[in-house]
Amino acid sequence: MKFGFRVPTLKKRIAARTSPARFIRHNLGFKAPRGNGWLTNPKKAMYNKVYNKTSFGCLLILGLLTSFFVLSIVLFVT
Protein backbone atom coordinates (compact mmCIF):
# COMPACT_ATOMS: atom_id res chain seq x y z
CA MET A 1 0.00 0.00 0.00
CA LYS A 2 1.36 3.40 -0.95
CA PHE A 3 1.28 6.32 1.46
CA GLY A 4 2.01 9.89 0.47
CA PHE A 5 2.89 11.37 -2.92
CA ARG A 6 1.94 9.47 -6.11
CA VAL A 7 4.47 9.91 -8.91
CA PRO A 8 2.68 10.64 -12.21
CA THR A 9 3.46 8.37 -15.17
CA LEU A 10 2.46 9.58 -18.62
CA LYS A 11 2.87 6.10 -20.14
CA LYS A 12 0.38 4.55 -17.69
CA ARG A 13 -2.14 7.37 -18.19
CA ILE A 14 -2.11 6.88 -21.97
CA ALA A 15 -2.27 3.07 -21.64
CA ALA A 16 -5.29 3.25 -19.34
CA ARG A 17 -7.21 5.59 -21.66
CA THR A 18 -6.49 3.59 -24.84
CA SER A 19 -6.92 0.00 -23.65
CA PRO A 20 -9.11 -2.31 -25.78
CA ALA A 21 -11.02 -3.48 -22.69
CA ARG A 22 -12.03 0.11 -21.84
CA PHE A 23 -13.05 0.78 -25.43
CA ILE A 24 -15.35 -2.29 -25.53
CA ARG A 25 -16.80 -1.63 -22.08
CA HIS A 26 -17.64 2.01 -22.84
CA ASN A 27 -19.03 1.43 -26.33
CA LEU A 28 -21.22 -1.53 -25.43
CA GLY A 29 -22.42 -0.06 -22.12
CA PHE A 30 -21.14 -2.86 -19.84
CA LYS A 31 -20.46 -0.54 -16.95
CA ALA A 32 -21.91 -0.61 -13.46
CA PRO A 33 -23.13 2.73 -12.08
CA ARG A 34 -20.79 4.74 -9.87
CA GLY A 35 -20.64 3.50 -6.31
CA ASN A 36 -21.47 -0.12 -7.15
CA GLY A 37 -17.88 -1.31 -6.73
CA TRP A 38 -18.83 -2.89 -3.41
CA LEU A 39 -21.19 -5.19 -5.30
CA THR A 40 -18.92 -6.15 -8.18
CA ASN A 41 -15.57 -6.51 -6.36
CA PRO A 42 -15.63 -5.68 -2.63
CA LYS A 43 -11.93 -6.43 -2.02
CA LYS A 44 -10.77 -4.08 -4.78
CA ALA A 45 -13.26 -1.39 -3.69
CA MET A 46 -11.94 -1.49 -0.10
CA TYR A 47 -8.32 -1.31 -1.29
CA ASN A 48 -9.08 1.65 -3.59
CA LYS A 49 -10.90 3.52 -0.85
CA VAL A 50 -7.94 3.22 1.56
CA TYR A 51 -5.43 4.02 -1.21
CA ASN A 52 -7.26 7.17 -2.28
CA LYS A 53 -7.48 8.41 1.32
CA THR A 54 -3.80 7.78 2.17
CA SER A 55 -2.08 9.04 -0.99
CA PHE A 56 -2.22 12.18 -3.08
CA GLY A 57 -1.17 13.17 -6.58
CA CYS A 58 0.92 15.98 -7.98
CA LEU A 59 -2.16 17.94 -9.09
CA LEU A 60 -3.16 18.45 -5.46
CA ILE A 61 0.25 19.94 -4.68
CA LEU A 62 0.10 22.15 -7.79
CA GLY A 63 -3.35 23.35 -6.75
CA LEU A 64 -2.17 24.17 -3.25
CA LEU A 65 0.90 26.00 -4.55
CA THR A 66 -1.07 28.06 -7.05
CA SER A 67 -3.72 28.99 -4.49
CA PHE A 68 -0.97 29.98 -2.02
CA PHE A 69 0.75 32.02 -4.75
CA VAL A 70 -2.47 33.83 -5.70
CA LEU A 71 -3.28 34.49 -2.03
CA SER A 72 0.18 35.93 -1.40
CA ILE A 73 -0.16 38.24 -4.44
CA VAL A 74 -3.58 39.43 -3.26
CA LEU A 75 -2.27 40.12 0.24
CA PHE A 76 0.82 41.87 -1.13
CA VAL A 77 -1.18 44.15 -3.43
CA THR A 78 -3.70 45.19 -0.75
Terminal-to-terminal C-alpha distance of the chain: 45
pLDDT score at 60:
59
pTM of the entire predicted model: 0.49
Mean pLDDT comparison of 8-17, 27-36, 42-51, highest-scoring range = 42-51
Is the pLDDT confidence value at 42 over 70? yes
Reported as a pLDDT band with limits 50, 70 and 90, residue 46 is: very high
The domain limits of the chain are: 4-77
Give the residue-averaged pLDDT of 25-50.
83
Question: 73 or 3: whose pLDDT is higher?
Answer: 3
